[in-house]
A and B are shown apart, each in its own frame.
Chain A
């Protein structure tokens, strides 16, 4: 993924600091670097779902490691975004089990509906559509990932409804919901 020079407002507030400290406490005191991946997730979630170079530098400073140690991790893992993306990123699984159950057609439908090509973001900054590799929902295909959640057994109608819900601000990206 290309690196962006867009400016990002950095805000490590008290709640985020407390969460970072909690994650750091899961590893021995001399192994703070181990907390890097979980911390990057939290920091990204709190910053419009992307990590600018300045924000990565800030993470390095908090953990006490060199900036390059953060850069090389951010550039390796697909879930870290190095440029601004849409508020709602529809990540369609495109691997075999989903592909044979119609994920390619459904992603095409979604792109056409939103007026974007795969990998692009809508002009209003609300939606990004991307194809990703196997998400471990093969029996519930076709499906997509949105924030911390999976949307499975998808149909065109369900995608339409999901887009409407996003536009109406009814979709929580990172809230834990445990259903019994």
Chain B
């Protein structure tokens, strides 16, 4: 189960250059779409493909495209979200760094489908060398006539530019990204109006992830129906997963949707099992925002079925016993990991990255970081665990954008599945003084010290 759609030519020497990319069939989708298809026919192919947004939300791309306002007569824009910043996620960087022309081809074909004449790629500022790679590739595409005026003699014009951010996770949220592209602070906008009606400079705008746009050339060349044949149910096509943490072979992998989590984790072709063969303790399958799965819920769902690499299976059981496919940031944790320390680490991240517009997020992320910090450092109180639960619950759903939810979910899941580890920290402060406490003595070995309490906890 390894169809190569996105990474088919990743290992071809020189694929970064226009000539080699073109020799390997590059830009065929632009020719096919512009010469033989109407924009709406391209949109229909993408709808048929079942492609879902690869940034994290999983919203059907073709449907998102069909919402763009064509009646107002205003200029329309396609903006590629290359602000990849979700901890655990580094797949878009791989695509842009090694096959930059694939994204540019996807941007041209997709811009044609949406009727755009001016489109942008918004890349995070830290990927500055990738910004330069894209700038160079765009220049090559202009020189070869794929961008600019009257492309392929069809009378259609398209300008494409790459724009860089400057260090702000929040700019991966589409309305914050648009604000940032307008030269402002990355404060998310209240929706509605949605970008499809009022986005960049108040013009109708579609914002799509790098991986979503990079799948469009294949869909146009091979039809949406062929794409939909790959995968399982509503999880069609291939998906990039970026694996990190305590696995043997971290890296970026393209797999057919529907592979079992067990195979992905253990096959030598993919992660090759655990580093140093230590026990698997937890897995975050879709970036830091999605719930961590404890070992007994990773390979099997609570219902006892094989857990698959699909949107549906990874979410099976809801947040009680499931997680989410998210961005495909696959983080593997072994038994030396301290869940409390890791959760504090994430809370520090979200506190740092909160834009500060909404009080529940601005204040709540800071409170969570503070409470987790004191538990991790041996100053926790028994009631802190329920306090944390209360704070995360009051952030979730009460903010303009999903950063608040993203900050709340990892805390909730950690308490839900690893409450005894929090209790251990509170009750045995002298045993957690060294920050590598579970490296020296994994929790499994001291777990028996935590006596289960009879009281019913809120979580």
Contact = CB atoms under 8 A, between A and B. Distances in A.
Given A41-B128, A77-B168, A95-B349, A136 B182 contact: no
Interface stretch (A26-34, A109-117, A154-162, A163-171): A26-34
Contacts of B242: 138-139
Contacts of B115: none
Name which of A73, A77, A79, A96 has the most chain B CB atoms within 10 A of its CB: A96
B87 A138 contact: yes
Contact of A78 (B84, B90, B166, B345): B166
- Interface size of A as a range: 35 or more
A136 B83 CA distance: 10
A178 B126 contact: no
Given A100-B337, A180-B16, A76 B245 contact: no
Interface in A127-180: 132-141, 145, 147-150, 174, 176-178, 180
B163 A37 contact: yes
Contact of A134 (B87, B118, B128, B355): B87
Contact of B84 (A34, A136, A145): A136
Contacts, number: 155
Interface SS majority for chain A: loop
Given A97-B88, A140-B250, A77 B125 contact: yes
Contacts of A28: 118, 201
A99 interface: yes
B126 A145 contact: yes
Nearest to B338: A100
Contacts of B244: 97, 138-139, 141
Given A138-B331, A139-B251, A176-B129, A133 B183 contact: no
Given A145-B126, A149-B129, A76 B90 contact: no
A134 B349 contact: yes
A65 B126 CA distance: 25
Name which of A36, A76, A101, A140 has the most chain B CB atoms within 10 A of its CB: A76
5 contacts: A28-B118, A69-B183, A133-B87, A133-B349, A178-B132
Interface of B: 13-14, 16-17, 84-90, 93, 118, 124-129, 132-133, 136, 161, 163-169, 180-186, 201, 242-246, 250-252, 288, 329, 331, 333, 336-337, 341-342, 345-346, 349, 352-353, 355, 435
Interface of A: 26-28, 31, 33-38, 40-41, 65, 69, 72-73, 76-80, 94-97, 99-101, 104, 132-141, 145, 147-150, 174, 176-178, 180
